A and B are shown apart, each in its own frame.
Chain A
Amino acid sequence: MLSKKKSISQLLEAWQYDEDLKENIMHWHTLEAQPASYAPFPETMHQSIRKALQMRGIEQLYTHQRQAFDYATGGKSFTAVTPTASGKSYCYHLPVLQKILEDKSSRAIYLFPTKALAQDQKTDLNELIELMDEDILSYTYDGDTAPGIRQKIRKAGHIVMTNPDMLHSGILPHHTKWVSLFENLKYIVIDELHTYKGVFGSHVAHVIRRLKRICAFYGSDPIFICTSATIKNPKELAESLTNTTHKLIAKSGAPVGKKTFIFYNPPIIHPTFGVRRSAILEVRDLSTRLFEAGIQTIIFAKSRVRVEMLVTYLKSLTAKKIADESIQGYRGGYLPSERREIEKGLRDGSIQMVVSTNALELGVDIGQLQACIMTGYPGNIASAWQQAGRAGRRQDEALIIYVAQSTALDQYVVNHPTYLLGSEPEQANINPENILILMAHLKCAAFELPFSVTDHYGEFTVQELLAYLAEEGVLVKTSTQWHWMSDRFPAHEISLRSAAQENVVIIDTTVPAKTKVIGEMDTYSAMTLLHEEAIYIHQGTQFQVEKLDWEEKKAFVREVDVDYFTDANLAVELKVLEEDKCAHYKTATVSYGDVGILAIPTIFKKIRFNTHDNIGSGPIHLPPMEMHTNATWVSFDLPENWSEEMLTDALHGAAYALGSFIPLFIQCDRSDVSVVPQVKAVHNERPTLFIYDSYPGGIGLSEKVYDVLLPLLERTVQHIENCPCKSGCPSCIGAQDSLQESKKRVLKVLNILLVEMMWP
C-alpha cells in the first residue's frame, strides 16, 4: 500500500479541490511567517549565564528577553506577553540567576498554576544551572515534596517553585520557618499570569497581598516578574493581582511560522428548523483525514463528555491494530500519572492524535504538533489563540481548523472571521473586592501577623472589618493591635480553586474484589455528570453510575457497553437580596445587586450516539446547591393576551440569545455569566431576566452588563432578525420543538425592552 502521509501544504492543496469540503469552508486565512528580532547579551550579564546560553547554541537574546533583563535589573516589576514557544522562561531565569550570582543570599519564588508546570520548569532550570556550573539550589515545594528535604528547601533553596495553593496553606501560615527566604526575597515570578482570572485569580490576588505583607515584616520588597499569554489587559491584570505597578513588554521577538486558519461550518441538514450537522461528527471526519495523512493533531472539545465521545469515535480508526495507543484523550479528571504518560507520548511522537479539554491550554510542554481542530468556539478569543498556538510550535507551518457548532456565538464567529482574527482578545478579570473572598483572606492575614489599629491590608482599609471579626470571636483587640484568637487554622477553610470545597471521587466497581479510583470531579459538575444512572465516559470506556454517595462524595461506577450518553438538566431559582442600582423605564426596570441562587438538577436524558436521538429519561435526586452572587436583572410587563406558556418560551429564547452575545461586549468566557429567565420572579412577581456571575460572591461581570445592556439588546435583535431560519434555530434563540411563533415572540419581548431603553 502506498503511504498516504502528506505535509500540511500538500494536504491543503488537495483540499482546495475537494468538493465535499469546499462547500463547508466559509473562509481561508493565512498568517505569514514572521522573522525573529534579536538583541545582544547585556554587558552586565554574568559569565556563567553567558557560557550556559552559548552551550545551548544561543548567541543573542530575543528583544523581549533583553527588555525583561533590563527592567528586572533596573528594579522594575514587569509583565511580558509571551506566545507559545517564545522562550518566555528566559525572561525570568536570566535576571533571577544574575541576582543570585551577584549575591548568594538572594532568594526567588516561582509561582506556577499547577504542580506539573513547576516540575517541567524545575527540570529545565536545573539543566541550565548545570551548564552554568554554579552552586545554585532550586526546588519544587508542594504537596509531593518529601518531608526530609523540606527543612533544607526552607533554609537554603535559592529558587523555590511552588503553586498558589501551597503558598496559601503551606508557606504563609508558617512564615517563621522561612525566615531566610522572606528576608532575602528579591523576585517573585508569576508564570501563566492569564490563568489567574475569575474566582481563582481573585483568591490569588489576596494570597499575593498576604505574601507582600509578610515580606514587609521581614524587610524585603521583591520585584514581580509576570509572563502571560495574549490577553487584552495583561498589565492591568498583573497590577491588580500583585497590587504593584508594572511595566509591559507587549512585543515578542521570537519568530512565528506560517499559520493557515480554516473556518468550517457544518452543512444544514434540516433547513426549516435550521439544524446543522453535528460539529462533533464533522470533527470526527476531519480528524480522520488528518490522521490518515499522518499529521500530529490536537483536537479541542469544550466538555469532558465531548472529549470522550470523540475519543470513542476516533479509536475505531486504530481498532484493528493491537495495542495501538496513538489516539488518546486528555482532560481534567484523569489521574496525574495517566496525564504524564500522555504528555510524554505526545513529545516522543508515539501519540499522533490527542483529544483534549482546555486542560492543555496551559504551557505543559508537549512538543510540536502540526494541526489543531477546535470543536466549537472555546468561548473567548484568548483561549482560541492559545489553542491555535498548540499547532506549529517552533517555526513550522501549521493548520488550525475551527468547526462551528450551531450556537449563536459559534455561528457569529464562523460568519465574521475578523472577529477572531482581527479583534483584541478578552480581558482577564479578577475582583479582589469580592467580600467573601476578601474576608476569608483577611482572617488568614490576621492569623499570619497581627494588624495594628492603623494598618491597611493591601489597598483596603479594613479596620471596620477587623472589628467585625472581633465580634465574631476570632480576633481580639489589645491596646493597639488585632490578634488572632481562635484555635482554628483559617487557611484550611478556603479552597482557591473553586467555590465547591470537595471533589467527588469516582470508584470503578466493575470487579467487586478490585475496586479502584479512576478519577475525580468537582461537586458542581458532579450534580449533572455523576448522578445515578449517568453514563460516565473515561478514556473512551463507558461506565454507568450505580450509586452516588453525596454525603461521602463518592460515585460508584460499573463498566457498561451502551449506545447512548446522558445529558442532565439543572433548574435554577433566584431571589434578590439587595438592589444597588436601578433604572426605571416606561414599564421595564433594570437593576443590579446581590442575589441568592439555588441550583437543583432535575432530570436527565439518554441520547443515542451518532443520531443524537432522545431515547429515554429519568429523575435526579440530589440536594440543591446554594450560591450568593451579583446579578443584573430586567423586569417588564407581560404583553397583552399572552399565556404563561407563550411567555415561558419567549423568555427562554430571549435568554438564550442574550447569553450568547454577552461575551462580545464584556470580554469574558460564555460560562462566566449565566442568563436565567423567571416568568414570575420571587421578589416582584414580574417576568424577569437574570444575568448573573457564575461564581460565589461575583467577579464584577454582571455589573458591566448593566452598563452595556442597550447595545447588547441591539446586537441580539439584529442577529435574530438576520438569522436565515424561519421560526428559531440553535444559532439564534435555541432549538425549537415545533414550528410556532417563538421567533416572533422573542423578538417582540426584546423589542419592548429595546424601544423603552432607546426612548425612555
Chain B
Amino acid sequence: MSYENKILQMKKMLGKKTSEEQEKPKFVKPAAPSYKEAWTAAGLTPVHNDFGMLFKREVRYPLTYRHGNYELGELYNAIEAWEAADMNHPYRLTFDDTLVFFDTETTGLKGTGTHIFLLGLLEERGDEFVLTQYVLADPENEAALLFESKFWQRAITIVSYNGKSFDWPMLETRWTLNQNIIPKLRPQKQIDLLHSSKRLWKNDLEKMKLVQVEEEKLGFKREGDIPGYLAPIIYFDAVKSGNAEALMKVLLHNEWDLLSLITLYVHQTKLLFASEVESAVTYTNIGKWYGDLKQPIASEHVLTNVTENYREQEASLAYFYLAIQQKRNANYESAKLSFEKALPGISPKQKLQAYEQLAMLHEHQFQQFDRALFYTEKGLEIVRQSSLTTDQKQKQLVKWEKRYKRIENKRQ
C-alpha cells in the first residue's frame, strides 16, 4: 500500500467516543497465550500463579562444573578469603549473604514501553548451583513473572554486570507499572561487577563488554552465541509466531552471562588478594582503588608490590599513586622519590600533577627553592603546550606563574 493510501485508510478507522468511559475493572487474571503448548514443547515449563502464568527453565550444576578457567565451587574459596580478610570493601561477600547472580533480557533500552522478557537467577545452594530462568509469557502476564521472582519477599545480595544502572532500574520500572497488583519490590544489596571491572582493567581492556572480559580474563569463549542486540527481535517473533526455538538460544546466552558472573567474581577476588598474576596495569588499578576507598595500607602494599616486582617503565603509574599515598602519610622523602620515578611513563595531565607536587614538596618541606623553581618551570612548559581551551589555559598559567614568583621571592 502506498504511503498516501495508508493515511487515507487510517483516517477511516478514526472514530470519536460518544459516552463516558466505564469504571476500570479490578485486576482480572489474564488468559494464557495461545502458544502455551508450543513453548512447552520447545523446552519451557509453564508456571501458574495468582497473577497469571509464566514459563520457567531450570538447570542445576555441581560445584565441580567448569566454566572457563574456574570451577563454580571456587566461589566458596573467594568468600572465605573475604571473610578472613576482615576489611571493609564494597565487593566483600560473606556466608551471611544470600547470593543471587542476576541478569535480564529486555525488548529495548529505555522507557516504560521496554519489557523485561527474561529474568535469569543463578543461586548457590551449598552443594550445587541452580539456574532459574523466568520467561514472560506475554506482556499482559507481567505481574505473574515479577511475582514469581520473589524479589519482593527475600532479602538477597544481587550480583550483576551493569545491573545497578540498567537491569535493576528496569525492574523497578516494571514493578511500578504493576504496583497496584503485586507486593512492593524490596530494595536489595547490589554488587555490580561492571564497576569493579572498570576499576581493575582501566587502560588494560579496550572494551568492558562481558564477552571481551570472558575471553581475555576468564578463559571462556562462546560458540554459537546469539548477539544480545538480536534478543528483542527474537522475543517478538516468539510471541507473534508462537515458535520458541530461537528464544531458547537467548536463554543460553543469558545462562552463559550468569555463569561468567560467578567466575568473574572469583577471578576479581583473587586479583584483589593478589593470589592471581596479572599485568602491572591491573595491580596499579587495584592499588589506586584501595587508595580511593581510604585504605592506605592495602593501597601501599599493592603498589609497592608493583614497583618492586615489575620493570620501572611498567611501574610508572604505580609510583605515581604510591607517591600520593606517601605524601598523604607525611612520608615526604619517599613521596619525592616515587614522583620522580613516575615521571617518565605517565600522561601529561598526571605529569602536571607530579610537577606540582614536587614543586610543593621542595618549596614547603625541603626548602630547596632551586629544585622547586625547576619543577615549576617544567609545569609551565606543559601548560603552554597543552591542548586546554584558551580559558582553562589562562587560569592554569596564572596559577603557575604565581607559584613561580612566590618561590623566586623566597629564594632571594
**Residues in A lying within 8 Å of B, measured CB to CB:** 173-177, 179, 433, 435-436, 438-439, 446-450, 454-456, 459-462, 464-465, 468, 473, 476, 478-481, 483-491, 577-578, 594, 596, 628
User: Is A460 touching B17 in the complex (CB atoms < 8 A)?
Assistant: yes
CB proximity to A under 8 Å, residues B1-54: 3-4, 7-11, 13-17, 21-22, 28, 30-31, 33
A176-B172, A433-B14 as given contacts; A596 in contact with B4, CB under 8 Å? yes
- Complex contacts, B8 vs chain A, CB 8 Å: 577-578, 594
Contact A489 B177 (CB under 8 A): no
User: Roughly how many angstroms separate A488 CA and B10 CA in the complex, as a whole number?
Assistant: 21
Q: 27 A-B pairs, CB-CB below 8 angstroms?
A: A174-B173, A446-B113, A448-B112, A448-B113, A455-B21, A462-B15, A464-B14, A465-B10, A465-B13, A468-B13, A478-B33, A478-B139, A478-B141, A479-B140, A480-B28, A480-B31, A481-B140, A484-B113, A485-B107, A485-B236, A486-B108, A486-B113, A487-B108, A489-B113, A577-B4, A578-B8, A594-B4
Residues of B with C-beta under 8 A to A459: 16-17
Note all chain B residues with C-beta closer than 8 A to A465.
10, 13-14
CB distance from A437 to the nearest CB of B (A): 11
Which listed residue, A454, A468, A476, touches B138 by the CB 8 Å rule?
A476
B14 contacts A435, CB within 8 Å? yes
> Is B224 part of the contact surface with A, judged by Cβ < 8 Å?
no
Q: Are A461 and B17 CB-contacts (below 8 A) given A435-B7, A483-B139, A577-B4?
A: yes
When the two chains form the complex, which single residue of A177, A435, A480 contacts B173, counting CB atoms closer than 8 Å? A177
Q: Which residues of B contact A628 (CB under 8 A)?
A: 3-4, 7
Return A215 CB to nearest CB of chain B, in Å.
Answer: 14
- Kindly state whether residue B349 has any CB partner on chain A within 8 Å: no
- Bound-state CA distance A503–B16 (Å) is 35
Contact B239 A476 (CB under 8 A): yes
A sample of 4 more A-B contacts (CB under 8 A), given A456-B21, A485-B139, is: A173-B110, A462-B15, A483-B138, A486-B113
A400 to B4, CA, bound (A): 47
| A465-B13, A485-B139, A489-B111 known; A176-B177 Cβ under 8 A | yes
Report which of B17, B115, B176, B239 forms a contact with A176, defined as CB distance below 8 A: B176
Question: Which B residues touch A462, using CB under 8 A?
Answer: 14-15
Does A478 lie within 8 Å of B7, measured CB to CB? no
Q: Is B395 an interface residue (CB 8 A)?
A: no
Closest CB of chain A to B257's CB: distance in Å?
A: 19
| Bound CA–CA A473/B9 (angstroms) | 17
Q: Which 10 A-B pairs have the closest CB atoms?
A: A447-B113, A483-B139, A464-B13, A478-B140, A484-B113, A479-B31, A176-B176, A461-B15, A173-B111, A487-B232
Residues of A close to B21: CB separation below 8 A:
455-456
B240 contacts partner chain A, Cβ-Cβ < 8 Å = yes
Instruction: Report yes or no: A174 in contact with B110, Cβ–Cβ below 8 A.
Output: yes
Q: What residues of chain B lie closer than 8 Å to A433, measured between beta carbons?
A: 14
Interface size (B, Cβ < 8 Å)?
A: 40
Q: A175-B112, A448-B113, A478-B138 are in contact. Are A486 and B10 (CB under 8 A)?
A: no
B233 adjacent to chain A (CB < 8 Å): yes
**A468 partner residues in chain B, CB cutoff 8 A:** 9-10, 13
Cβ-neighbour of A447 out of B17, B112, B141, B240 (below 8 A): B112
CB contact list, B227-261 vs A, under 8 A: 232-233, 236, 239-240
Structural contact, B139 and A456, CB atoms closer than 8 A: no
Task: Given A483-B139, A485-B239, decide whether A464 and B15 contact each other with a Cβ distance below 8 A.
Answer: yes
Select one of A176, A438, A439, A476 contacting B112, CB under 8 A: A176
Smallest Cβ distance from A683 to chain B, in angstroms? Answer: 13
Q: How far is the CA of A447 from the CA of B115 in the complex (A)?
A: 10
Chain A residues with CB below 8 A from B9, complex form: 468
* Bound: A436/B9 CA distance, A: 12
Q: Kindly state the separation between the CA atoms of A579 and B113 in the bound complex, as whole angstroms.
A: 38
Give the shortest distance, in Å, between A262 (CB) and chain B (any CB).
Answer: 48
For the complex, give the distance between the alpha carbons of A523 and B21 in Å.
Answer: 42
Q: Please, which residue of chain A has its CB at the minimum distance from the CB of B141?
A: A478
Kindly provide the distance from the CB of B246 to the nearest chain A CB, expressed in whole angstroms: 16
| Chain B positions 68 through 112: 1 when the CB is less than 8 Å from some CB of chain A, otherwise 0 | 000000000000000000000000000000000000000111111
Q: How far is the CB of B343 from chain A (nearest CB, A)?
A: 33
Q: Which residue of A lies closest to B4 (CB)?
A: A577
A444–chain B nearest beta-carbon distance, Å: 9
CA–CA, A89 and B112, complex, Å: 34
Complex Cα distance A578/B4, Å?
A: 9
Which residues of the other chain, B, contact A483 by a CB distance below 8 angstroms?
Answer: 115, 138-140
Q: Is the CB of B10 within 8 A of A439?
A: yes
Nearest chain A CB to B94's CB is how many angstroms away?
30
Closest to B229 in A: A487
How far, in angstroms, from A118 to B141 measured CA to CA in the complex?
42
Nearest B residue to A174 via CB reads B111
B28 to A435, Cβ gap below 8 A?
no
Residues of B within 8 A of A435 (CB): 7, 10-11, 14
Contacts of A486 on B, CB cut-off 8 Å?
Answer: 107-108, 113, 232, 236
CA distance A481 to B141 in the complex (A): 11
Complex CA gap A448/B28 in Å reads 21
Residues of chain A with a CB closer than 8 A to B3's CB: 628
Q: Which residues of B contact A438 (CB under 8 A)?
A: 14
Give, as a whole number of angstroms, the nearest-CB distance from B36 to chain A.
12
Contacts of A449 in B (CB 8 A): 112, 177
The answer to whether residues A173 and B14 also contact, given A179-B176, A628-B7 and a CB cut-off of 8 A, is no
Report the bound CA distance from A436 to B112 in whole Å.
23
With a CB–CB cut-off of 8 A, which chain A residues contact B22? 454
Complex contact B30–A479 (CB within 8 A): yes
